[in-house]
Amino acid sequence: MNILDRFRLDDRVAIVTGASSGLGVAFAQALAEAGADVVLAARRTDRLAETARLVEATGRRALCVKADVASPDDCDAVAAAAADFGHVGVLVNNAGVAGAVPASRETPEHFRRIIDINLMGAYWMARAAARVMTGGGSIVNIASVLGLVNTGLPQAGYSSSKAGLLGLTRDLAAQWSHRKNIRVNALAPGYFASEMTARQDADTIDDIVRRIPLPRTGEPEELAAAVVFLASDASSYVTGTTLTVDGGLTIS
């Protein structure tokens, strides 16, 4: 097999949660360019139409499903729709929420909502997808460098959820890699422009960039390429790991 063929995702269906905006759009488009048909899941279905157009422009099929990953029933519905769509081989657990709030002012409701979506939602979606990944597959959990290091912003809920996601990744990989032939890995992005980061002021962004050995923010395509690597047979001997794509932020 040509080495580049190992990155192909032909004849596979990929599920992308949080596909209505930001990095989820870039992930969906990249997976389609690699040959996958893509099931697009999000709470805001009106914005999924544009993502679907990008997928279909590559010649692949797209299916839009309304879902809140905090609901196990919604996750089961996404997996069932994907199984009807074709052979499910990839899940990108991308849905997430953020919020920079000092711990002394963070409400229980805010903290629980972050954990419900970022951590528990990823768990419910992984379980649902694993049930329909007949013959094996790849799960990519989108974590964050904030699960590994602190950048100075008060984000106890978000950081906790992403650190928990790294532990979940390791445990599911240990459970499923041999028994189900499902590889489970995490991606830990550094600073990438998104709806979440757009709420931060310019001084905060400048402070973060000054800490990065590659002194710039990341481009969505750089992260999407890593997703394709972890989703495809190019990473067939990789499971239970966290791939950090952060320009060196975690070593600074």
**Which residues are known catalytic residues?**
158
187 and 142 Cβ atoms separated by less than 8 Å? yes
Q: Which residues pair with 119 in a beta bridge?
A: none
Q: What 3-state class would DSSP assign to 69?
A: coil
Phi and psi at 238, nearest 5°, equal -120, 120
* Cα–Cα distance for residue pair 16/26, rounded to 1 Å: 10
* Cα–Cα distance for residue pair 53/60, rounded to 1 Å: 10
* Cα–Cα distance for residue pair 77/79, rounded to 1 Å: 5
What number of other Cβ atoms are within 10 A of residue 110's Cβ? 14
- Angle at alpha carbon of residue 78, lines to 21 and 187, rounded to 5°: 55
* Cα–Cα distance for residue pair 172/129, rounded to 1 Å: 12
Amino acid identity of 114?
I
The pairing of strands 182-189 and 88-93 is unpaired
* CA-wise closest residue to 90 among 51, 135, 50, 129: 129
Contacts with 227 (C-beta within 8 Å, 6 or more apart), sequence order: 27, 30, 31, 92, 140, 187
